[in-house]
């Protein structure tokens, strides 16, 4: 029945059942490790929905089931962080001796995990141009088991041709994983585009208030048993309070994302006309590289994007600007209520593509503050930039 509802309605219904909660609207927070069985037969035959705390709780199951329906997945598992979700996904699809393809634009902690952990356990890792599309077929080896995608790219915002890459993967029986944190299932339906595992940091838009850490991994029918087995082997689950907060964040997620989209686009257009800005890296802007693919595959954009400054500005100019912001905080992450800004430079760690945007770069997360106040804060920052 819920499949007939629009997404805003779905988000108010999923992951709760007042009939099982003494009429209370929300699921209670279950905390615990030990589960009591009624009989010897029950414990010998594992006759229980949850046999121990590491197998989950009703709170966790409510969030998993809600996310599965939202993502169009066969099943979902949770982890204590977004990077934990990346680890769960990669351990699901790789083994020693396998070859893994990673986009050169990938979230830097994902790169660090691959370069240190995956290689340590005998997985060969190669990086590829995120804009490669169908030509990724030239990089396939006999032992390639997984292609990882992230669209748009972390910080640099390249949009990948997901359907093209997935089509090559399916031709060779290769699993695909996507980091879908920027768009969420609300703006990009990864499984509908053929991706096997879709992950994200629920820390961001699912939580929505910068007060929890969480990772989410959903799987299609074919890959779900392997994902659940990996999760059960590792017992890497989040805490009860974080799951409760994530369920609460789920209710307003669509409203917040639509508002983030609106504010992000307004700010991107305002910045595009500023003389201090060389270019804006926002996939929803028509003149941004990858816009046509974004328009074809996505149904919206979020509140995170980057800008390239005019090349005349130095690192000291940028420090003058960012050190004294009144509203924008210097901090990582995104998706919360607060606006954030960070400088970044991909040139030191990219290995396949050259990062040369033409000037210094900053990434902005547009929060829920008054837009005129945010623009004034940036305008004052630009004045310091020019001193």
pLDDT range class, residue 3, cuts 50, 70, 90:
low
pLDDT value for 1:
45
Contact 7, 186 (CB under 8 A): yes
Cis bond leading into 226, ω under 30°?
no
Distance between CA 227 and CA 80 in Å, rounded?
A: 16
- pTM as predicted: 0.95
CB atoms within 10 A of CB 31: 12
pLDDT digits (tens, 9 = 90+) for 329-372: 999 999 999 999 999 999 999 999 999 999 999 999 999 999 99
Q: What is the pLDDT of residue 18?
A: 82
For the segment 256-306, what is each residue's pLDDT rounded down to a tens digit?
999 999 999 999 999 999 999 999 999 999 999 999 999 999 999 999 999
Instruction: Return d(Cα 159, Cα 8) in angstroms, integer.
Output: 26
Angle 245-210-265 from CA coordinates, rounded to 5°? 115
pLDDT at 139 over 70: yes
Instruction: Work out the average pLDDT over 37-53.
Output: 92
Quick one: CA torsion of 5, 8, 13, 14, rounded to 10 degrees?
Answer: 100
> Could you give the domains of the chain?
2-249 (3.40.640.10), 254-385 (3.90.1150.10)
Q: Using CA atoms, how far apart are residues 361 and 278, in angstroms rounded to an integer?
A: 10
- In angstroms, the CA 97 to CA 143 distance is 7
């Amino acid at each position: 029945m819920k499949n007939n509802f629009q997404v805003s309605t779905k988000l108010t219904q999923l992951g709760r059942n007042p009939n099982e909660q003494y009429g209370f609207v929300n699921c209670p927070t279950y905390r615990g490790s030990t589960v009591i069985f009624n009989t010897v037969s029950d414990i010998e035959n594992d006759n229980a929905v949850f046999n121990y705390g590491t197998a989950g709780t009703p709170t966790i199951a409510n969030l998993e089931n809600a996310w599965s329906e939202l993502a169009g997945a066969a099943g979902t598992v949770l982890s204590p962080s977004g990077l934990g979700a990346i680890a769960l996904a990669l351990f699901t699809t790789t083994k020693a001796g396998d070859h893994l393809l990673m986009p050169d634009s990938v979230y830097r902690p994902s790169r660090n995990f691959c370069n240190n952990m995956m290689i340590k356990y005998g997985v060969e890792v190669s990086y590829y141009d995120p804009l490669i599309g169908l030509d990724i077929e030239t990089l396939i080896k006999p032992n390639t088991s997984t292609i990882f995608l992230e669209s748009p790219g972390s910080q640099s915002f390249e949009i990948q041709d997901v359907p093209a890459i997935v089509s090559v993967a399916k031709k060779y029986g290769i699993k695909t994983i996507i980091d879908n944190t920027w768009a969420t299932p609300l703006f990009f339906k990864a499984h509908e585009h053929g991706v096997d595992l879709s992950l994200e940091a629920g820390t961001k838009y699912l939580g929505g208030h910068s007060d929890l850490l969480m990772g989410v991994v959903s799987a299609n029918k074919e890959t779900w048993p392997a994902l659940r087995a990996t999760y059960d082997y590792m017992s890497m689950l989040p805490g009860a309070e974080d799951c409760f907060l994530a369920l609460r964040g789920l209710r307003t997620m669509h409203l917040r994302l639509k508002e983030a989209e609106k504010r992000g686009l307004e700010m991107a257009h305002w910045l595009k006309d500023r003389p201090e800005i060389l270019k804006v890296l926002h996939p929803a802007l028509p003149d941004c590289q990858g816009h046509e693919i974004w328009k074809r595959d996505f149904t919206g954009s979020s509140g995170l994007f980057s800008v390239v400054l005019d090349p005349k500005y130095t690192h000291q100019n940028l420090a003058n600007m960012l050190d004294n912001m009144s509203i924008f905080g210097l901090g990582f992450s995104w998706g919360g209520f607060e606006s954030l800004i960070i400088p970044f430079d991909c040139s030191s760690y990219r290995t396949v593509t050259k990062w040369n945007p033409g000037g210094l770069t900053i990434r902005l997360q547009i929060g829920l503050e008054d837009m005129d106040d945010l623009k004034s804060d940036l305008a004052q920052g630009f004045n310091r930039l020019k001193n």
